[in-house]
Structure 1
């Protein structure tokens, strides 16, 4: 007999997915311990579990999967082949429909104002405290993308508005925003997209306590610190309007001790996920839930019920480290809403993480 953990490891299905398929009557364990409720599977059920995993990755509806599993070991496989063909036809029709919709959307986009932020022809010269800019870059650097297909996200947005400089990074799955004071720019709002290598070179110069001189001139950015300077070109791409993306309904705010919470995440259980992140690989999911004492608990792998949120564990650990505080506030909304990680003493520096769907 295989335990549910062994079945999950060898089949590619998560433990929570196996429980879901048991409740749905699709893949029922051979025996359930009447005391502990622990599920056990016969060895020959592994083939069915692997088949089920492949069918779900291919997007086959659960009703059809039930019929495929029922007919898989039958001498007459005609029904299974017909179900395969029917699902492939659905996928092909869906792809054709999606292509048509995107073609229409491109035409609409061509005839209206670009909803993203235009970053062309920027000019600004300002003075920024070195510690403030260093802290801001450290707070957002982890959220930048490494996807070569989205070069505009492999950069940090510099948004200069009056006496404030906001820096922003996002890879679609997470976003980080930080703000610092700036002086010397009394013109209109200016934005520039600084590629990561140039941003890293700028960060390397921010070692002292004195203000540094930051300049944007067209597509060129430069930073002077004492007698040292780094300069490079900005990206001629658009960047998402982050101000719209951070307008979230208020959630439940929970104060966490960062060191203790990070250790709970590292040592706690995780669920495997089919979700692919920027590097194309699957992510390990931690399940968290607001606790009665106003903190956040890392749930055990067997936790079911309301109020839990799945989150990419690596992303959450990165966000906690970038928060640079011994205590941080986690703001949890609906299971489908972004998780916000905020500093208790600083409203304009925060991170957002997209949740990972827990239901199969």
Structure 2
């Protein structure tokens, strides 16, 4: 097929189509490779790409969605849907963007405080105390996880363990999550969800029924002392919670205390029923 034949059949060369869509030929080749905008015809001999005039609107839509920094997979979902569903998917994406931006905005303010030397002002908002915790049996689930996956995993894993606790004599103390190493967008922990239970023998019988290769465990945690600060549901969100951890560590340094195990978040309240300003969590460090 020659270029003239293509025009006669209402097909546009990539150059003409690119001009109408206000896109570069390079962008159109990328969209083709990614399956977002497939040419109406590709010449088998020359490899020339040809497009229909009615593909211009889709090309412009793809280009505008790219200006929103929308991932290509999400763009495909939007352009393949019908009008209402397409709009809904765009709205859902933008809700995610705004939530991420709100978190980043908070992180910027937190980092500005650190970089400007206002740490003591931030730490002064937290009251740190100590509490002695007796030895107890815990059932646990361990997972390597990045920061963006962590909240969902905490809820799901504690739910699994709390259900299992029914077979282990019941829950004897608030559940907690221990961090054996940093969890961030670059570091994957691991983190360990823990639920204290009443019956060690029943817990080990439950564990035996889980099969090999699972991330569950049973252990007896020795008696320990925790240095902790109590935070609200709003403060649990990243990065506010970082300030709580750092406040406890600063207090430990002033008191001459040493770390005696992995830091943890102790969840003592009904998360779903709590309001943003209700206390729900203790940020704690085992100390000696």
User: When you count helix as a share of all residues, which structure comes out higher?
Assistant: 2
**Larger Rg belongs to:** 2
Q: Say which structure is richer in strand.
A: 1
User: TM class, shorter-chain normalised?
Assistant: 0.3 to 0.5
> What TM-score, normalized to structure 2?
0.35
